[in-house]
Amino acid sequence: MQGLGVPLATPFDDDGDVDHDALGALAEWVTDRGVDFLVPCGSNSEAELLTADERTAVVETVADAAPDDVPVLAGTGAPGLRETLELTEGAAGAGADGALVVTPFYFDHGDDDVAAYYRAVADDAPIPVFLYSVPKYTGYTLPPAVAGDLADHPNVAGMKDSGGDLAAFQRTRARTADADFDLLVGSGGVFAPALDAGADGGVLALANVAPEVASEILDAHRSGDDDRARNLNRAAVDLNHAVTAGHGVAGLKAAMRSRGAPAGTVRSPHRPVDDDTAADLAALVDDAL
């Protein structure tokens, strides 16, 4: 799981059902534009609004649509161990190559509890496990020391860090540098700086809307043109903010639709953005491309 990943949006039809035809088309749309791996059932996929059976079906659709050289990292995290293991087994059976497991949420847990939970998941998971720290949604930040300890587990393959804290990111990189551990940034606004800091890639909501831009940032960094990578990233910062912190998943899908991407609609309690907001988002997309 290196390079550019996308937390793939889940298209819903007007009745609120998963539109599997649109989902398969979306997987092809982003991979044709430079995405290296697909991440169904992540935060931007509205995974917590899907049933367990729906999540498995979404993973299966994405795995079937993915080209042979594009791996699938499925979000399988839940508040408790048993549900996480069931979701992970379902994702593996549906064709996922790895499991992205968010830190346990809803209840408060100490660092030792979280570490023990991840070890239990990794012990039983039939596919490699990736840690996922997204404090915006969970209220918990996975400490670099805990990530470093978990990196020694033979079935813990990496981590997605969506905290947006570059100093913490670098501490995590330092503590995992000697392990076989893919460290991915989850904040598009700091993609280029994170690559400078040793990221192996990113899983970016931005890549649902402008995969070419995110791919170009990565290519510039890999070619040694870090100034160009940073400049490209700056040009996309406003769009990235608008489709994440600004307007959330509803804004993300509106921006995707402005490009003709098969985004579908959102699932309740999300509501579509209004026409003025959709127009503003379309303008930001035009500016970033």
Q: Is 203 annotated as a binding residue?
A: yes
In Å, what is the CA distance from 162 to each residue of 31, 81, 204, 250? 22, 22, 9, 19
**106 an active-site residue?**
no
Q: Say if residue 107 is exposed, middle or buried (CB neighbours under 10 Å; 0-12, 13-18, 19+).
A: exposed
Catalytic residue among 117, 118, 137, 160: 160
User: 200 pairs with which residues across the strands?
Assistant: none
Token pair, residue 67, equals 């080209």
Residue partners of 54: CB distance under 8 A and separation at least 6: 18
Is residue 69 classed as helix, strand or coil in its secondary structure?
coil
Catalytic residue among 106, 117, 118, 132: 132
**160 an active-site residue?**
yes
Give, to the nearest 10 degrees, the angle between helix 111-124 and helix 81-94. Answer: 40
Give the separation between CA 33 and CA 35, rounded to whole angstroms: 6
Nearest to 26 by CA among 217, 201, 243, 259: 259
The strands making up 3-7's β-sheet, listed across from edge to edge, are 37-39, 3-7, 201-203, 182-185, 156-161, 129-133, 98-102, 73-75
Where in the sequence numbering do the catalytic residues fall?
132, 160
Question: Could you tell me which residues are annotated as the binding site for pyruvate?
Answer: 203
